[in-house]
Amino acid sequence: MFTGLLDCSILKRAQDKKLVEFAVHNLRDYTTNKHRRVDDYPFGGEAGMVIQIEPVDNVIAALKLQREYDEVIYTSPDGEVFNQQIANQMSSYENIIILCGHYKGIDYRIREHLITREISIGDYVLTGGELAAAVMADAIVRLLPGAIGDEQSALSDSFQDNLLAPPVYTRPAKYKGWQVPDILLSGHQAKIDEWKLQQAIERTQRLRPDLFEKKD
């Protein structure tokens, strides 16, 4: 599932252009037991299996021998909620490890000793962290210079500046009697820019007033 998502659209193009490289590692390849088991029963007797520390420690140690990492991230609903500021920050990183969470959890010592940051993509529970990692990868990689066609468009995204994007329209200017706002057809760039800003502010106030309270 995860590699399929990485090989689509912008993520695929960014890899083809050598802007980013992904390496997906299977924990089973870092086990030392005969059956390549990566989980075991929890101490204290709860239901469900827990990912063991050894294969996780092994994979992280093997990767760190090859290069330095800016962050070792664990995807979990307990984490800091991912947003555009975090995507911006991570787009400047050289190397990131993302350890995908597991529905019943991982040995807590991994989180205490090996992880530098825990990230959630929202207040809901996924079955595993793969989709969360793919969401983060998409949001981060599209910010890399050259990843999307129009360099300007990443800067004018919703959430840059904590404002939602203004509406956009294209031809035809009138469809079934539905009209594109006159200002956009006026050719008066300064007035158009002012209208876009007003729209961005109005939409943010109406739809996401919480964004206005963010100062960063």
Site of interaction with ligand ADE (CB under 6 A):
75-77, 101, 120-122, 124-126, 129, 132
Residue whose CB is less far from ligand ADE, 75 or 204: 75
From the CB of 125, what's the least distance to ligand ADE, in Å?
A: 5
Residue whose CB is less far from ligand ADE, 126 or 163: 126
Contacts of 177 (CB under 8 A, 6+ apart): none
CA distance 85 to 67: 25
Strand bridging mode 178-179 / 174-175: antiparallel
Angle between helices 9-16 and 130-141 (to 10 degrees): 60
From the CB of 168, what's the least distance to ligand ADE, in Å?
A: 30
From the CB of 118, what's the least distance to ligand ADE, in Å?
A: 9
Residue whose CB is less far from ligand ADE, 90 or 184: 90
Residue whose CB is less far from ligand ADE, 73 or 163: 73
- Of 101, 93, 95, the closest CA to residue 76 belongs to 101
**How many alpha carbons lie under 13 Å from residue 79 in its C-beta half-sphere?**
27
From the CB of 137, what's the least distance to ligand ADE, in Å?
A: 13
